[in-house]
Amino acid sequence: MADMNINEVNSLHDTRISDYNIFLSTISKRRTTPALRASYDMMSKDAIFLSRGNPNPETFPIIESTLTLRDGGKLHLAGITMEAAMQYGSSAGDPEFRKWLIKLQRQLHNPPTLDDSRRPSSLDVIINTGCSEGIFKVMTATLNSGDAVLTEEYTFPLLFSTIVPLGARAVAVVSDDQGMIPSMLEKILSTWNEKTNGKRPQVLYCVTSASNPTAITWSLARKREIYKIAHMYNILIVEDDPYYMLQFNTTKVPTFLSLDVDGRVVRLDSFSKVISAGARLGYISGPRQFLHKIVQHMMCSVISASNLSQAVVFQTIQRMGHDGFIKHVENVRDFYQRRASMANQMAEKHLKGLAEWVMPTGGMFLWIKLLNIKDSSKVTEKAAKHGAVFNAGFCFCFDQTLSSYIRAAYSIVADDQMDKVHLHFLITYICAYNPIKVLVDSDDGYVSVMTSFCEQVGDP
């Protein structure tokens, strides 16, 4: 070691991935940059474009717009800004907006791969239409028919809707309130039989902050251990993290992106929960070479995220500045934290002894385990008839196995409705739980049921 120079020592510790082809699906490998789009990103702004079939903005009916912000401020879109917003643009997103987002990622996550070396693993950020599109594009880029994706037992079900048509499946790794259990992941990978199960999984999908549906946040210790295993088995981690900024704890758990010394994390962020869901805007951070494949897919699908949405959202957050944006999101977080504690109080009041739940660590969901009920869908069906719609837990498992859980979203239920919803739910719960259901169909059903219920099991 004494004879080595510093570069040699560094290269010994350099675990950066140098080629992402190993992770790519056949479809993705076949993708190339469409010749017409290539000219788009290549040329300087001052060039005279005879190469673009762009519509002439002089023919567009909208030329100017003023938007009023909640704080009374105004956004004014006019002139070349408006023209650009109404025009085609770069598939990877507005370059200035991307620079702003890279700075944000540096401030929030300080990713080890964020350097200027332009290595295949160097961090890049592209703008897309949100985490849903991110899931679709990343899964399409990585999965062939017969492949498997590692997930938590309960996860965001859009993943399943995406991978099933690709001929792929999810393999659930047992998880607890700290996140995926490393020994369970290691067991799956070390005992994987390629003859019977097909190729060993190369992709791990996770929702690590205030998860939808479980509302848990992975601990840092777990992330470190899972990352180590991903390193050992060369797995790409897809960190779908739209609730990262909505963690209730003021100290956020560091992300996989912030631990990513290899360049194996593809991180999905979204403006949906903090600026607008209708703008359909998000961003993907990950290895440059891999993201290039996603951009190629965008070139021949959506072309780019809406330039109008990009202009509106970028102006909004640019006006706030990076610190102001983070402050804005803290206010959003406080809003949901108040709602979470209200939902928790209602559950305490009405469901104690009938169900178990933990106070959400962030986000928008209360994840409730119904005691003595194997199939919560029976209860949710009844609750829906009584005017309170919840999601049954089976929706969030790949194989849709029976589940005792229900998901209650407290994000948009009006304050005065929250108590009512829980009462409705309690009634139907009691109906499913006790053979006294006839009574709830009468006008005074609630009172009758409560009386009978209390006589039998005590006052909840």
Contact set with ligand PLP (CB under 6 A) = 130-132, 156, 207, 212, 240, 242, 270, 272, 277, 282
Least distance (Å) from ligand PLP to the CB of residue 168?
18
User: Residues with Cβ < 8 Å from 140, sequence gap 6 or more?
Assistant: 25, 27, 28, 162, 166, 297
- DSSP conformation class of 288: H
User: Residues with Cβ < 8 Å from 348, sequence gap 6 or more?
Assistant: none
CB nearer to ligand PLP: give 201 or 282. 282
Distance from C-alpha of 245 to C-alpha of 282, rounded to nearest angstrom: 14
Query: What single-letter amino acid sits at 107?
Result: Q
Other C-beta atoms closer than 10 Å to the C-beta of 449 total 23
CB nearer to ligand PLP: give 82 or 203. 203
CB nearer to ligand PLP: give 390 or 433. 390
Least distance (Å) from ligand PLP to the CB of residue 244?
11
Helical (H) or strand (E) element with 290:
helix 288-299
**CB burial of residue 267 (10 Å; 0-12, 13-18, 19+):** buried
Least distance (Å) from ligand PLP to the CB of residue 2?
50
CB nearer to ligand PLP: give 151 or 202. 151
CB nearer to ligand PLP: give 141 or 207. 207
352-365 CB burial, b ≥16 within 10 A, e <16: eebbebeebbbbbb
User: Residues with Cβ < 8 Å from 372, sequence gap 6 or more?
Assistant: 433
Least distance (Å) from ligand PLP to the CB of residue 322?
20
Distance from C-alpha of 179 to C-alpha of 215, rounded to nearest angstrom: 11
CB nearer to ligand PLP: give 158 or 359. 158
DSSP string of 112-166, one letter each residue:
TT--SS--TTSEEEEEES-HHHHHHHHHHHH--TT-EEEEESS--THHHHHHTTT
Query: What single-letter amino acid sits at 378?
Result: K
Least distance (Å) from ligand PLP to the CB of residue 379?
23
Least distance (Å) from ligand PLP to the CB of residue 364?
8
CB nearer to ligand PLP: give 105 or 289. 105
Distance from C-alpha of 166 to C-alpha of 52, rounded to nearest angstrom: 34
Least distance (Å) from ligand PLP to the CB of residue 106?
22
CB nearer to ligand PLP: give 217 or 270. 270
Please identify the residue of the shown chain whose CB is closest to the bound ligand PLP: 130
Q: What are phi and psi of 281, to 5 degrees?
A: -140, 135
Least distance (Å) from ligand PLP to the CB of residue 273?
7
CB nearer to ligand PLP: give 242 or 263. 242
Least distance (Å) from ligand PLP to the CB of residue 132?
3
CA contacts within 13 A on the Cβ side of 257: 30
Distance from C-alpha of 297 to C-alpha of 280, rounded to nearest angstrom: 17
